[in-house]
Chain A
Amino acid sequence: GAGVSQSPSNKVTEKGKDVELRCDPISGHTALYWYRQRLGQGLEFLIYFQGNSAPDKSGLPSDRFSAERTGESVSTLTIQRTQQEDSAVYLCASSSNLVPRISNSPLHFGNGTRLTVT
């Protein structure tokens, strides 16, 4: 079946511009996660959704970052007034259950959006 799809796969933008990143989770997955990964490093949690609500936004780096999810499906991560330090790969993942029921429902990741801010 179809996996998690992210678009665009690559995005180059000028400093100060806004960008919108899209994630299409696996159909029926109620939990959706956004992570940021800097080059060669681990994953930094940004935000998660249970259905369309976001109980934990603690990982968003600043108020320039926002995310929404509609129809318990597609999610968009928006970065306003991009800065060079926002350059990274943004990964989306979905699962059928919310962590910590992790042994029953692992996270399925998309291939990410590589964002470069010039």
Chain B
Amino acid sequence: TQLLEQSPQFLSIQEGENLTVYCNSSSVFSSLQWYRQEPGEGPVLLVTVVTGGEVKKLKRLTFQFGDARKDSSLHITAAQPGDTGLYLCAGPGRGKLIFGQGTELSVKP
């Protein structure tokens, strides 16, 4: 069974701080995705990483796919209150997308 473990589960920081969220598995994934979900809404795709070792940047967000394609990380620089939300990593399983349990991020002004 393919599982994705995210850490930390909860993160509360002050505006301007940096943070990293991790997504780990014992299985190899062909690709991994990161989604962000705000209260009352569905998850929205942030990025897809496909190649081992790949790094993608989205403004202040940096996503990395591990060399062995078993893990990924999301780093946020100078976090802002607008970054608050639930961050989910996801990988393809048999015909479906498997999600981690999420990291609840709260950025306080």
Contact = CB atoms under 8 A, between A and B. Distances in A.
Interface in B25-82: 30-31, 33, 40-45, 48, 50
B99 A43 contact: yes
Interface residues of A, number: 27
Contact of A103 (B41, B50, B97): B50
Nearest to A42: B101
B107 interface: no
A60 interface: no
Interface stretch (A13-21, A72-80, A105-113): A105-113
Interface residues of B, number: 27
B96 A111 contact: no
Interface string A60-104: 000000000000000000000000000000010100001110110
A107 B45 contact: yes
Given A91-B42, A103-B31, 15 more contacts: A33-B96, A35-B99, A40-B86, A42-B100, A42-B101, A43-B43, A43-B88, A45-B99, A50-B95, A93-B42, A99-B95, A102-B30, A102-B31, A107-B43, A109-B43
